[in-house]
Amino acid sequence: MRSQTRSTQRSVTRRQFLKRSARAATVTGVGLTAGSWNRVLGANERVHLGVIGPGGRGQSVLQQFQKNPEVEVAALCEIYDENLRKTQTLLPKPAKESADYQKLLELREVDAVLIATPDHWHTAMAIDAANAGKDVYIEKPLTYRIDEGKEIIKAARLNDRVVQVGMQQRSGAHYIKAKAEYFDSGKLGKITISRTWWHGNGYHLRKAPFKEQPAGLDWKKFQGPRPWRDWDVQQFWNWRAYLDFGGGQITDLFTHWIDVVQWFMNEDLPKAAVASGGVYHYKDGRTAPDTIHVLLEYPGEWTATFEATLAPGIRGAGIEFVGTQGRLEITRGGYTFTPVDGSPVKEPGDKGDQMTADHVRNFLDCIKSRKRPNGDVLVGHRSAVASHLGNIAYLERRRIELDPVREEIRQS
């Protein structure tokens, strides 16, 4: 895998950037409408939402948006007609439809977009959306490659866009409480190890309900910028298992956990990564490992690990921090603090999809206040960097070191 390309250091004024963005938008078909980039909604105004990629996850997050009375779904973009049909049934009134996301971004009435596509489309869509003056809620991981993050951040900042990455733990009440009580206070003492694990995730084991390419499914658009291949039903239906479209369990699952770890530890750039694993059980053509171990080393003298397998003998997910004064285990169901001397202290977590609902609410509030959201584009980028390092270490079978200033892989 290629290392990042060094970004240019030449500064650009806002006026120059906007002129450039408008020219680029004309070429790509995304119109930057006058005044749209700096529109600020009032407290009582409606938020007109466009949804790009309303598949299973997209529909789930969309329903959390719909719990907020100011949200109106104005447009949908999807390359599979069946997903459009299902999504329309969730709406109180029909939304405009398109198979071309750039046409959705041209709509003046769309204020914000939800992007829930496979990972390889994230960067182009996020940048084009910001350049078109839309605020963005985008599923994690933010990027498909390390070097893409800086370009998304640049587009978000220079267009004054709110970009929320779907790392919903950042808005979870018990995560926020745990950070304040045990990390900000120093109650755990010196932390040397953070263990994370996620076993048996069903999204990576999905089996397509059909074999032939359905009518109304644009396989060419699905592949987009990735190398062409003939129709493959599993690569469409279970794309998370293929490295051409995502980063497997590392970027899909570890990104959630390493985001929490870096947030709690107040350190968001590892200095090195090693990894090992492979396709040990599911010999079904997947290219992402079904079993993986990642170890990251941080400048603050601590390590973070990730362990995951899809083998059917184990289930569960969580994080454990080990400090000199005790340990804390936290999951989406709550947390337990066990001091070196004393009894465990337990705290329940949010129920159901409450964290996602709170994360969506935070995004909507920031659209109006223009504040940075809990899962801001910068932290989304840094969490993705950590995961990408693990994948690169796995693929290259060597220790990967990161230059923390340039955020580029050091060349050996």
pLDDT tens track, the chain, 412 positions: 434 433 333 333 444 444 444 444 433 334 443 334 445 566 568 999 999 999 999 999 999 999 999 999 999 999 999 999 999 999 999 999 999 999 999 999 999 999 999 999 999 999 999 999 999 999 999 999 999 999 999 999 999 999 999 999 999 999 999 999 999 999 999 999 999 999 999 999 999 999 999 999 999 999 999 999 999 999 999 999 999 999 999 999 999 999 999 999 999 999 999 999 999 999 999 999 999 999 999 999 999 999 999 999 999 999 999 999 999 999 999 999 999 998 999 999 988 899 999 999 999 999 999 999 999 999 999 999 999 999 999 999 999 999 989 999 998 7
Tell me, yes or no, if the pTM score tops 0.85. yes
Residue 42's pLDDT is what? Answer: 62
Delimiting residues of CATH 3.30.360.10 domain(s) in the chain:
170-351+385-409
Among 286, 273, 196, residue whose Cα is nearest residue 247: 286
CB 25 within 8 A of CB 132: yes
149-173 burial code (b ≥16 CB/10 A, e <16)? bbbbbbbbebbebbbbbbbbbbbbe
Per the DSSP assignment, residues forming a β-bridge with 165 are 138
Q: How far is CA 327 from CA 83, 193, 264, in A?
A: 44, 10, 13
Q: How far is CA 225 from CA 57, 128, 222, 278, 370, in A?
A: 22, 15, 9, 26, 32
Residue 10's pLDDT is what? Answer: 36
What six digits make up the tokens of 266?
């107040």
Structural class in CATH, domain 170-351+385-409: alpha beta
Residue 99's pLDDT is what? Answer: 96
Residue 352's pLDDT is what? Answer: 85
Q: How far apart are CA 259 and CA 212, in angstroms?
A: 39
Residue 109's pLDDT is what? Answer: 96
Helix (H) or strand (E) holding 349: none
CATH superfamily of 14-168+359-363: NAD(P)-binding Rossmann-like Domain (3.40.50.720)
